[in-house]
């Protein structure tokens, strides 16, 4: 039976292992292609990022599919290029996305930290948002009416002094408001 030793390694990380085998850092896991880094942490942020990446990748695949229709005069060859390019784009970006969102430590730690910071945000209540939206819509309507009236005033002024030609619009507008 071999003796178990504990201590601090040269890289200042704690280790635990037997004298007979190479000591492995505590808390480290064997990393494989299917071991998601910190599974269960930052789930919503990772899913949102994956959905956004997926939408962009599908858009790129559709774009390439449409543009590669002119690559060959033979329709069968053109279709092969179209479908092949679309599948290649989806496969390559899917693998890169999986690596970034599931295996890359820096990106995963950033997304986990982002989600934890978003949980700390004090969000505005629904009542406050609805009230603010009503104020904004009211102000926009009032300002657009005011600018319309000022614009008509300038049109009348410049038509009277002879700078603006085309009083037909003003005549039709005058008839519309008089009834």
Region 169-177: mean pLDDT is 78
**Whole-number pLDDT of residue 31:** 64
Residue in 91, 90, 92 with CA at minimum distance from that of residue 62: 90
Buried b (16+ CB within 10 A) or exposed e, 62-83: eebbeebeeeeeeeeeeeebbe
pLDDT in tens, 99-125: 999 989 999 999 999 999 999 999 899
Q: Would you place residue 174 in the very low, low, confident or very high pLDDT band (cuts 50, 70, 90)?
A: confident
30 pLDDT above the threshold of 70: no
Handedness of CA 123, 129, 135, 136 (dihedral sign): positive
The residues spanned by each domain of the chain are 1-30, 43-119, 126-178
For tokens 């614009």, the residue is 151
- The 3-class secondary structure across 111-125, one letter per residue, is HHHHHHHHHCCCCCC
DSSP 3-state assignment of 18?
strand
Higher pLDDT, 18 or 64: 64
Residue in 154, 166, 25, 47 with CA at minimum distance from that of residue 101: 47
């Amino acid at each position: 039976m071999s003796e178990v030793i504990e201590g601090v390694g040269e890289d200042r990380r704690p280790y635990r292992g037997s004298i007979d085998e190479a000591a492995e850092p505590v808390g480290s896991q064997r990393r494989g292609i299917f071991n998601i880094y910190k599974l269960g942490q930052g789930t919503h942020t990772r899913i949102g990022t994956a959905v956004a990446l997926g939408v962009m990748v599908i858009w790129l695949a559709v774009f390439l599919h449409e543009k590669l229709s002119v690559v060959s005069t033979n329709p069968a060859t053109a279709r092969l290029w179209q479908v092949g390019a679309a599948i290649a784009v989806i496969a390559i970006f899917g693998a890169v996305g999986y690596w970034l969102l599931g295996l890359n430590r820096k990106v995963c730690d950033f997304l986990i930290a982002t989600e934890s910071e978003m949980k700390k945000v004090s969000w505005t209540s629904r009542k406050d948002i609805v009230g603010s939206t009503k104020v904004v819509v009211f102000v926009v309507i009032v300002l657009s009416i005011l600018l319309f009236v000022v614009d008509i005033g300038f049109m009348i002024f410049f038509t009277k002094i002879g700078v603006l030609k085309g009083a037909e619009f003003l005549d039709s507008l005058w008839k519309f408001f008089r009834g």
